[in-house]
Chains A and B, each alone.
Chain A
Amino acid sequence: MESYFLPAERLGEFVGHLAKFGKIYRCEQTESGPRIKLVQEKDYGEWNFPAVRTDEPAKYLFIKAKRKIAEYFDDKWRKITIEEEPKVIIGLKGCDLAAIKIWDKVFREDEQYKDPFYIAARENALLVGADCTGITPYCFCNLLGNGPYPAEGEFDLSLSPVEGGFVLFVGTERGKKALEGFSLSPAPAEALQKIESRRRELARKLDEQNAKYKTDTSWRELVEKNPDSPAWAKHGATCVACAACTYVCPTCFCFQIYDTVRPDGKYERFIALDSCKYPRFSFMAGGLNPRGKLVERFKHRYNHKFFHYHWRYEIYACTGCGRCIENCMGAIDMRETLKSVEVMKETAKTEA
């Protein structure tokens, strides 16, 4: 992979160069934690680099909690060209970049149906990844085969902080194009080695942190083969169906379409993010509800992420960012639940 050295003092110039592509959004360490911020030109050169992923997932730059998808019956909305504002998103960690790949499968790469709104947002975003330089107690990307750094194929450009600046990796043709006209010298071998060893060190820390959650059986098999495990009720017991896990999840995308009438008589159609945790998510006219019980909905989220999604696309719809663990008021830990499914399966076997 092409790599260059970006001296710290040229950061502002570099960001300014990328700004030709679009508005600059950047993951920054703020007083209230790591957040995604819209950056003004005067601040391009000032980057309070966050060690870990932001509190909010990057998905809200690609969808909105509520978005208009049509006015009917207005032919203008039948086929649409969406002029989405181009964005440069700087500092996306490996988990958020992996999530974009997961969304692509559903909204962009389906052979039959394509979501024009997601595609517009996605294709107008330049993804600039960044290495993690620390981990949170909730991080478990290693359990999903990911690492605390941008994975190849998932970013256009990527920055790894090193002494005196950054190493800039070029991931795609688009990244290369965005860089055109900005000359940099190749990254010194020593810097690349340092990045390698930091990545290894962080991966080791993750391994250590998550060793107790490792399962011998794949998560897909655990979820698919154990729908009746007592672990679901045990760990779902403190779930209050607040849906925080799904809203902070970088991969959760379930939505609902709804219509309204404007005062001028125009009919408008919106998409709003929904959550499988809500009792009425699958509630039908007539009163039937396939997932009326909370424990069924609790299990459903695991099913979707580790079984259904893997069945359809052969990847998990989870990137190990740990936001659902961090934000759960019921103190539910996905890693613990899955480990528990395995342990209880073994216990049942021994007892039998």
Chain B
Amino acid sequence: MPETIDNIYYPLPAKVVEIIDETPTIKTYRFRMEEPFTFRAGQFVQLTVPGIGEAPFTPSSKPGTSEELEITILRAGYVTDYLHKRVKVGDVLGIRGPFGKGYPMEKMKGHEVLVIGGGVGLAPLRACLYALFENIDDYKRVSIKYGAKTPNDLVFRYQYEEWAKMPKTDLKLTIDRPYPGWSGTVGVVTVLLDKENGFDVDVNDAYVVSCGPEIMLKFVTYKLLDIGFSPDRIYLSMNRRMSCGVGMCHRCNVGPYYLCKDGPDMCYAKIMNYPNVFS
């Protein structure tokens, strides 16, 4: 008896309604879906550029249910290159998802939350921040540490003021190398975990969520362990190449975990003993 089943590979149309230039290489695309779309902070979607292909991204907009969705994208490969060059407001792209488990929002309740981002890695973390801010009373404190190459590479600059004003929240920025006109901290993001730079998060209480280039995640993790964090408090956005998003195509694994199905935000304690956690 033929049965009708959801086609897990079918993308839903998503119309581009706004494109925000964040940095010379990063743009935020705002999409309008035909019907409300629901996702949790940290869950990702497969974005289809019609005829070109799919790539996985974690939305940077407020989690929950909405007809609108934002994705912040760095120009890095085949799909994103086409996206940056050719896609205009009014174009219809496709979205499949959401996939994955997302950030451990429930687990973090009652604790301090340390948010560490690098470059475009602040995009998925912004969804997490929205979720934290919405229920800020549930969390002890939110501490944001964010680094980029230059001041021009910092994303969501137009929101920093608003974030810093949130209760129980602090935001610290750094850039990799000295830059004309920059008077803030200089150095890779791990310098913001130094006491000299005002780091005062309780390492025995806090949960860490971090997203950024793999090299950054690696050194952030080592530094966190160094200053006393336990591996089970560290959540890393381990985004690897994904194709299906549903735990079938088997390419995004770290050890036995599928980043698509069991992640993409993985507790470091779960993966630390497997080879190639950081390539």
Contact = CB atoms under 8 A, between A and B. Distances in A.
Contacts of B276: 290-291, 296
A259 B251 contact: no
A60 interface: no
A199 to B, nearest CB: 34
Nearest to A310: B256
B155 to A, nearest CB: 16
A77 B50 CA distance: 15
A258 B80 CA distance: 15
A48 interface: no
Summarize B's interface: helix, strand, loop or mixed. Answer: loop
A114 B3 CA distance: 12
Contact of A253 (B213, B248, B256): B248
A254 B252 CA distance: 11
A261 B51 contact: yes
A114 B94 CA distance: 20
Nearest to A309: B256
Contacts of A311: 256
Given A227-B275, A282-B240, A285-B77, A82 B249 contact: no
Interface residues of B, number: 48
Interface string A71-85: 011000111111100
B266 interface: no
A70 B248 contact: no
B173 to A, nearest CB: 23
Given A73-B92, A259-B52, A285 B78 contact: yes
Nearest to B274: A227
A143 to B, nearest CB: 22
A35 interface: no
Interface string A238-276: 000000000000000111111111000001010100101
Contacts of B275: 227-228, 296
Interface string A280-292: 0111111011111
Interface in A78-114: 78-83, 106-107, 110, 112-114
B8 A116 contact: yes
B54 A259 contact: yes
A51 interface: no
A114 B249 CA distance: 13
Interface residues of A, number: 55
B183 interface: no
11 contacts: A70-B9, A72-B50, A73-B13, A81-B3, A110-B247, A255-B244, A257-B9, A257-B249, A276-B250, A308-B255, A308-B256
Interface of B: 2-13, 48, 50-55, 76-80, 92, 94, 213-214, 240-241, 243-244, 246-256, 261, 274-276, 279
A294 B5 CA distance: 39
Contact of A289 (B50, B53, B253, B279): B279
Kindly name the residue among B7, B92, B241, B261 whose own CB sees the greatest number of chain A CB atoms within 10 A.
B7
A72 B256 CA distance: 33
Contacts of A81: 2-5
A114 B50 CA distance: 24
A119 B5 contact: yes
Contacts of A276: 250-251
Given A73-B13, A284-B240, A286-B76, A254 B251 contact: yes
A290 B213 CA distance: 13
Nearest to A120: B2
Given A116-B6, A255-B243, A284 B77 contact: yes
B55 A73 contact: no
A115 B248 contact: yes
Given A72-B94, A80-B4, A283-B241, A258 B246 contact: no
Contacts of A281: 241, 251
A294 to B, nearest CB: 14
A304 interface: yes
